Amino acid sequence: MEYVDLHAHMVSRTTDDYRRMAMTGCVAVTEPAFWAGYDHPSAAVFADYFDRLTDFEPKRAAAVGIEHYTWLCLNPKEGEDRALAREVIDLIPGFLDRPNVLGIGEIGLNRVTRNELATFVDHVELALEHEQLIHIHTPHLEDKYKGTRVIVETLAADGRIDPSRVMVDHAEEHTIEMILEHGFWTGLTLYPTTKVSPGRAIDMVEIYGPERICVASACDWGDSDPLAVPALVLEMRRRGHPETLIRQVVYANPVEFLGQSPKFALARRERETTTG
Amino acid sequence: MASPQGTSPLTQRELIDTYFMDHRVQVLELAAYLDRLDRAAALDGEDDFRLRATREALAVLTDGEKDRTLRAQMIFSDPRTDLLPSLDRKGALGAYDADSAES
């Protein structure tokens, strides 16, 4: 089955992974800018990183027939450094016109500090100023509930935000309801140990319905699985779900959300096919 | 949202037939972990916030009420929404330590 992996840190993965993803039906990935496992020493390093995300990675993906898109930001783990954040945010507009940039992300919170929130708000302003889609990282583990609440309440209080253009990612059982009830899209990341398993992701689809829910591997440099989305497809079949529902979750939903960017070619082609 | 009955397409019997073995081993892994803690070289972690949260969450699993996953998630979570004044550490620990939390 064709699928879109809406959250994959392919800079950390091998060409073999791209090939295996393609062989299991992956037709597009979107790659949010993230934390490399250590702090970047300067804004110049981010410029190099953004260049890789917008030039080298699309070529690597295209070699196996996968469309590669990206989101740019200074990630939440480095959001505490306000001076660095300002420098990096100043860099981003110079990359926004590149053909595979869909928006600003993954912005958000980590430990939910004052500085992290200020950096998050600066990124939201940048997205609004440049009419970009927004992709949001919610904190991990014990910080997820509080971080998601702060993010959702901050955005909900800003009348300029159209929630249909915002993906609040890494939802779990205790945060999905507050995200969906405010009209945002949400993502379930199929990541071992710290996020959700395919089984729990399917539980949430069953309980809340498939509307505005996407899934992704969030594969990166940690223990993670670039084939997590096809693993979910298999598990949904074991759980007795019809192919139409599976396709909605792994393909149609991400295409609908990402298709709000005119750069997302897959949505354009889908529309052309539908209209004949 | 209380988990509505009937949202799983499989019956209880089908779920058990398909998934019993997967979850049997998970129950035994948890039991063995608790036994291992009892056999530890030193019983120096009884007050550890992670162990306390684990025991509290395990009680939720057997209390007969619904929404066990959501309730277990909240046991492990920081329930507050006030912002930290500054970054104290980079990573999360997996459970909220109310005793050492900044006010």
**Predicted pLDDT at B1:** 65
- Contact with chain A for residue B95, Cβ under 8 A: yes
In a domain, B91, yes or no: no
Question: What are residue A26's DSSP bridge partners?
Answer: A3
**Predicted pLDDT at A273:** 85
**Predicted pLDDT at A272:** 87
**Predicted pLDDT at A267:** 84
Q: What is the pLDDT of residues B18-31, one digit of tens each?
A: 999 999 999 999 99
Task: Give the model's confidence band at A131: pLDDT under 50 very low, under 70 low, under 90 confident, else very high.
Answer: very high
Q: What is the pLDDT of residues A102-117, one digit of tens each?
A: 999 999 999 999 999 9
* Cα A172 to Cα A77, A149, A197, distances in angstroms: 20, 13, 10
Q: Is the pLDDT score of A265 beyond 70?
A: yes
- Helix, strand or coil, per DSSP, at residue A39: coil
Is B83 within 8 Å of A238 when comparing Cβ atoms? no
Q: Number of structural domains, chain B?
A: 2
In a domain, B103, yes or no: no
Q: Give the closest of B3, B69, B84 to A200, CB-based.
A: B69
Q: Other C-beta atoms within 10 Å of A218: how many?
A: 28
In a domain, B4, yes or no: no
In a domain, B24, yes or no: yes
To the nearest whole angstrom, how far is the Cα of A75 from the nearest Cα of chain B? 12
Q: Distance from CA of residue A276 to its chain's centroid?
A: 31
Chain B: residue whose CA lies nearest to A149 = B81
- Contact with chain A for residue B3, Cβ under 8 A: yes
Is A174 within 8 Å of B77 when comparing Cβ atoms? yes
Chain A: residue whose CA lies nearest to B7 = A206
**Predicted pLDDT at A276:** 67
Is B83 within 8 Å of A112 when comparing Cβ atoms? yes
Residue A188 phi, psi (nearest 5): -110, 115
In a domain, B100, yes or no: no
Q: Number of structural domains, chain A?
A: 1
Q: Give the closest of B73, B78, B86 to A143, CB-based.
A: B78
Are B49 and B67 members of one domain? yes
In a domain, B98, yes or no: no
Interface of B with A in 13-32 (CB under 8 A): 14, 18
Contact A213, A186 (CB under 8 A): yes
Q: How far apart are CA B71 and CA B2, in angstroms?
A: 11
Chain B: residue whose CA lies nearest to A147 = B81
In a domain, B56, yes or no: yes
- Helix, strand or coil, per DSSP, at residue A71: strand
Task: Count A/B contacts: CB-CB distance under 8 Å.
Answer: 86
Question: What are residue A32's DSSP bridge partners?
Answer: A71
**Predicted pLDDT at A116:** 98
Rounded to an integer, the average pLDDT of A195-210 is: 98
Are B54 and B69 members of one domain? yes
* DSSP assignment string, B36-103: HHHT-SS---TT-HHHHHHHHHHHHHTSS-S-HHHHHHHHHS----PPBSS---SS--SS--GGG---
Q: Give the closest of A142, A200, A203 to B92, CB-based.
A: A142
Quote the domain boundaries for residue B51: 45-77
Q: What is the pLDDT of residues A42-83, one digit of tens each?
A: 999 999 999 999 999 999 999 999 999 999 999 999 999 999
- Contact with chain A for residue B93, Cβ under 8 A: yes
To the nearest whole angstrom, how far is the Cα of A204 from the nearest Cα of chain B? 9
Quote the domain boundaries for residue A98: 3-275
> What is the token pair recorded at A5?
């992996």
Is A239 within 8 Å of B4 when comparing Cβ atoms? no
Task: Give the model's confidence band at B102: pLDDT under 50 very low, under 70 low, under 90 confident, else very high.
Answer: low
Rounded to an integer, the average pLDDT of A84-111 is: 98
Task: Give the model's confidence band at B100: pLDDT under 50 very low, under 70 low, under 90 confident, else very high.
Answer: confident
Is B77 within 8 Å of A146 when comparing Cβ atoms? yes
- Contact with chain A for residue B99, Cβ under 8 A: no
* Cα A165 to Cα A112, A176, A199, distances in angstroms: 23, 17, 27
Sign of CA dihedral A203, A208, A214, A220: negative
Q: Which residues of A touch B14 (CB under 8 A)?
A: 240
Are B59 and B72 members of one domain? yes
Tokens 């030193």 belong to residue: B42
Question: CATH number for the domain including A68?
Answer: 3.20.20.140
Are B15 and B33 members of one domain? yes
Are B35 and B51 members of one domain? no
Q: What is the pLDDT of residues B71-87, one digit of tens each?
A: 999 999 999 999 999 99
In a domain, B50, yes or no: yes
Q: What is the pLDDT of residues A212-246, one digit of tens each?
A: 999 999 999 999 999 999 999 999 999 999 999 99
Q: Is the pLDDT score of B103 beyond 70?
A: no
Q: Which residues of A touch B4 (CB under 8 A)?
A: 207
